[in-house]
Structure 1
């Protein structure tokens, strides 16, 4: 994920120009803050709302945890797999922590197919981050379909399971993306915690940022493609476990509800 900028159209100078520039600058800053927090221009559904919507009489337990009772949090990684993913999987296995991986196709799944298989085999949720990280609300419907179709097919081929979740690059989405996601059986997943690990290699700073934002039902966004991120993961896990958090995948966070295609989920 990278920072985005918004260019302000050139205007002829008038007496009202200073107020105009201030308004546009403030709006741009607000939009940037929303993008970095995962709050795209979309109606979102919180995990607790997804659980509440589930049919009455659902079983009390879902695997090993019930997030209606437990203090759950989901660890998610974007834009892999990479040369750092094997070490990350070792850490998650050692710590007995499941994660959700939103994977890229081009230059990632293509390059590290065995890591994709390992992620699924070790109980992690394998999902899509598109094929080539194109910003979905800036491309045509045909291009959106291609960006979503290709990783779906690659994940199904490698793991035997077709993904049901996707994360739009930069959290950018709109009504067209929702409609096409619904057609393709995909729900969109945003986040509530970002370490902005694309801005630093300081693992201690990444850890500090995550811990400062963590809350119940949170979805943590990290990228294992960056050098400072994987070394930060053990400390993040240990500190959050000490606070009483239980780590779950995104589907476990929603259970007994299920992610609905075309909907956007964010704490």
Structure 2
């Protein structure tokens, strides 16, 4: 087995051990994050919003008029990210990256910089992938502040979005996110790519769930995910979808700190 493949599998295995596999318990309740949360849909954000300079900055796509969908990737950057970025660039598709700090942002700063330079939204998935609802407020702040500071040092822009590990959040997390200027983003589509290395299966799971205003959850740390991305993009474009970042999905509205979106 080539050394790079061994290294990639070792990284993915370590991440599973850190807790990503436990997300199954949450997903058994709902495909859109843990049940019982007060969440806001993109269409609701757009409904009463007025066009602003912020919306203009996000580009010409108006998701009130066209059928939009957002690709999001958690837990990178990784050794797989360069190929993923190549694919997105070739197909002119923007994405939103919810990045981990430890062993990811700190290991691949050049990829974080490239994501920002190529027009993707760079956001936070915490520093160590600790379950925020199990932590004390001081620990939650540290999990959120460290990746924000690291991303800002690399890109010059502080994140305004975060995704809680396993989608687990509560009022304490909301309040701290509000203090830190962060909105929480969950998902409506999951390929459960942590359970398989089969790109065709990952692709079919995404396509079966895709709907307008969807937020697709994938992880570019797993071997089967990046190979599935070209097929996902091509099939959804054929269905008339336009790919956007999460901020573009909400425009001309804007995510508010402390609120949860999906």
TM-score, normalising length from structure 2? 0.88
Q: In the alignment, does 2:63 pair up with 1:63? A: no
Alpha-carbon offset, residue 40 of structure 1:
4.3
User: SS at 1:34's partner residue?
Assistant: coil
Q: Do 2:31 and 2:188's aligned partners in 1 also have CA atoms closer than 8 Å? A: no
Q: In the alignment, does 2:21 pair up with 1:2? A: yes
Per the alignment, residue 20 of structure 1 pairs with none
Give the superposed CA RMSD. 1.6
In 1, the alpha carbon distance for the partners of 2:229 and 2:257 equals: 30
Per the alignment, residue 15 of structure 1 pairs with none
1:181-192 matches, within 5 Å, as 181-192=177-188
1:133-212 matches, within 5 Å, as 133-212=129-208
Q: In the alignment, does 2:38 pair up with 1:48? A: no
In 2, the alpha carbon distance for the partners of 1:33 and 1:239 equals: 27
In 2, the alpha carbon distance for the partners of 1:192 and 1:33 equals: 14
User: SS at 1:91's partner residue?
Assistant: helix
Per the alignment, residue 77 of structure 1 pairs with 73
TM-score, normalising length from structure 1? 0.87
> Where does structure 1 lack aligned partners over 5 or more consecutive residues?
6-28
Q: Do 1:144 and 1:177's aligned partners in 2 also have CA atoms closer than 8 Å? A: yes
Deviations 1:42-101 (A, max 9, x none): 20000000001313x558965121000010000000000000000000000000000000
Q: In the alignment, does 2:118 pair up with 1:126? A: no
Show structure 1 runs of 4+ deviating over 4 A: 57-62
Alpha-carbon offset, residue 35 of structure 1:
5.6
> Where does structure 2 lack aligned partners over 5 or more consecutive residues?
1-19
In 2, the alpha carbon distance for the partners of 1:176 and 1:94 equals: 41
Q: In the alignment, does 2:106 pair up with 1:110? A: yes
Alpha-carbon offset, residue 4 of structure 1:
4.8
The 10-residue stretch of structure 1 (41-50 or 206-215) with the greater mean CA deviation from structure 2:
41-50
Q: In the alignment, does 2:32 pair up with 1:37? A: yes
In 2, the alpha carbon distance for the partners of 1:213 and 1:194 equals: 8
Alpha-carbon offset, residue 172 of structure 1:
0.2
Alpha-carbon offset, residue 3 of structure 1:
2.4
Q: Do 1:35 and 1:170's aligned partners in 2 also have CA atoms closer than 8 Å? A: no
Alpha-carbon offset, residue 201 of structure 1:
0.1
User: SS at 1:220's partner residue?
Assistant: strand
Per the alignment, residue 234 of structure 1 pairs with 230
Q: Select which of 92, 95, 106 maps to 2:91.
A: 95
Deviations 1:142-183 (A, max 9, x none): 100000000000000000000000000000000000000000
User: SS at 1:3's partner residue?
Assistant: helix
